[in-house]
Structure formats: structure tokens, C-alpha cells
Amino acid sequence: MKKLTPEGENQPSDTGCETSIYGSRVFKDYRTIKRGAGPFNLATDVALDKEGNIYVSDGYANARVHKFSEGELLLSWGEPGREPGQFNLPHGIFVSEDIVYVADRENSRIQVFETDGKFLGEWDVNRPTDVVVHEGKVIVSELGYNVGSAAISTKPKDGIKAGRLSIFSLDGGLLSRWGTDDYRALGSFRAAHAVCVDSKGSIYVGCDLVGRERWRCT
């Protein structure tokens, strides 16, 4: 989603985010965001609820979630920070049964909300990138701490640096987890960045090109 002038020029919302340089890469540095703002400034993901409302995680250069109905903005929530309801790079979002799950990547947690933005709780993970709910299970791809060192401002809460795939119950209980520092090993990941589930229950994980492209769980 983009906001354009009549001339077709992008107009990102004003969050005060600054540009940083890491090697040859120039990027918007989420650590410099000064305030949450309206849609959009490098949005990261989109989800739908059962009424067809659209939720957008606005993450790389903003710190908010936006909710729309037929293109009309209904509400936004979030500010930069580490407190409940605040975000440091909301990277993925999913809505299931009137619950909104947000992968708050650089705070290393999944935040859980009602559809009006009311905070319900959070679960510890290691730099989550995406979240999917399937048949009563919450599946999370975790970037881990072996990549992206220029922008990391946290440390692994459990001492594990590896990228992982984690499966939780709806109340946040950990059911299963896999992934090792040897990202070339079967069932391990380098920069796990996206996850989805098909009708047969197979899990697909989008990874860095040097890692595995797909891992199936039955």
C-alpha cells in the first residue's frame, strides 16, 4: 500500500525515522523512529479479519498497526518502545477469531491484541518475522540473531541465536520448536522470514537464498 501525490511520488508518513548505512546498504533505521504516525512508512504485512477489515503492520520506519474497512482508516495503535502495546519493527500480522497477533521483531515478542487494539499479552521469541494461526496452533518464524547485526538492539532471551520455527497453543504455551545454528541442516533456517500453511497442514517457510526454501511438517 502506498500514498501518492497526483504526480505519483511517494509520501511516507512522518515518524522522524533516519537513514543509516551498513556496509553498502542504506536502510531506514527503526531505532531512530521518534513517534508513531499514520499510514504508511514501509509497511511490512497485511491481514484480514472475518468481517473483511484489513490490518497492516507498518514497521520498518513506523511503529504502528492500522485497521481499515473498505479503504477507510478505522484506527491505529502503537508507538516506538518496549512497553506493552509499543513496537520495534512490527514485521508480521495475523488475525484469527477476533484476536490480532503481531510479530514485534526487534522486541523479540509476539504481541496479542483485541481487534480494537486492546493489549492482551505477549510471548517471548527471538526476532519474529511472521505469524500464522492454523487449527488452533500459532506458528511463528523467528529470524534469530545470526543475521542483521547492524540493526539488532536486543539479545536472545534464552541464549539461542539460531533462526527457528516455533509452534504455540492459543494461550501461548510452546508446543514445538526446531532450528539450529547449522542453517544448512535439515529442518534449520537462515533468516526465516515468512511462514504459511496449506490445506493439508504442510508448513512453508520463506528463507534467505542460502538456506532452505521449504520445510514440510505433517
Residues 38-66: tens digit of each pLDDT: 999 999 999 999 999 999 999 999 999 99
Residues 101-125: tens digit of each pLDDT: 999 999 999 999 999 999 999 999 9
pLDDT reported for residue 212? 44
Residues 124-161: tens digit of each pLDDT: 999 999 999 999 999 999 999 988 776 788 889 889 99
Residues 4-24: tens digit of each pLDDT: 454 445 689 999 999 888 777
- Alpha carbons 211 and 60: distance in angstroms, whole number: 23
Residues 82-101: tens digit of each pLDDT: 999 999 999 999 999 999 99
CA distances from 60 to 49, 63, 66 (A): 23, 8, 14
pLDDT reported for residue 151? 72
Which pTM value belongs to this model? 0.90
Pseudo-torsion of CA 48, 54, 58, 64, nearest 10°? -100
